[in-house]
Structure 1
């Protein structure tokens, strides 16, 4: 029988080989969908450990990227046991780097960690024009809209985008992230929350449920 605590800790320790071996052995026992979902939840708790260690400075950006990638690999091992229901979707996040900014590392880490936490993420990429954010938000009605930017000019683009979204009645929660983002700029932009690291951003999103 799979020890969920060992699985959680192994993922938190970034022991990829151990995690995949544990899950392959588990999958070979033909587990029920509920048992497979418990294993996914254990993996997600491991991802939370990774996030905490990153916040504490013990893990770095590369560790977050690696953890997100191999968590996806871990869930793929379990997919045959998860049936058509797959994992419970926590909600939809519409994500993009705002107009005028071409940086995507932070956005991509946030995307990986959001998906690992059970969110469906619609990633529009980089240099996303205001009208694209608005059109897509009206189309899919996401619970959360995430805007990323590294350049200081991104703050103005974020404000323009938030103003445009509110003007057409979009009611999604809005979180902004990136190096230039502060409490003051969050208030200026009109977003609901801000973050400078992906792990904290996931916690904020989970708190909105």
Structure 2
């Protein structure tokens, strides 16, 4: 991997990924709202920023996302669903990555291996859901898994060596999660970044369209 594009490069995991890639002498191009005015929820912003880039990139990582948006916390019960909060979750965690994937073919090499990784979450797994709650966030992540799977099918038609996957980074100790860690074990962003890059390094073309965790294990849909 010689060149990587990181969407959400100023966030906890995104910045750690950028640092880990730089340590590998990988050329990093980063986009974020705070540094570049990149708004993944705005179609024109995505098109303008990605259209201005010079590819190809060996890897594209979408590391954006949020558990809370405008102070709306994950729901403890479906009775707590509010329309705006749910739509905001879908805009950021599902539609945003879809907008990036709409442009990703133009950023990848056609003749060599490439990886497109979208950070998802295990709570987006329908098969693994045993306790309920967090409906909006779960649903948005389940949606992005479907988006990634579909994009992988289409990408394979033009980029035979491309791998497009959803990745669960584990519970990472960042401002994103600090209110929700509780007794759950968490890893530092640098460790999470190393884990994710190791998984990406080991992916094969036949893995495209899959959903994997930080150890490279398949996560149930």
TM-score range, shorter-chain basis? 0.3 to 0.5
Structure with the larger helix share: 1
Decide which structure has the larger Cα Rg and report it. 1
Question: Greater relative contact order (Cα 8 A, min sep 6): structure 1 or 2?
Answer: 2
Q: Which TM-score applies when normalising by structure 2?
A: 0.35
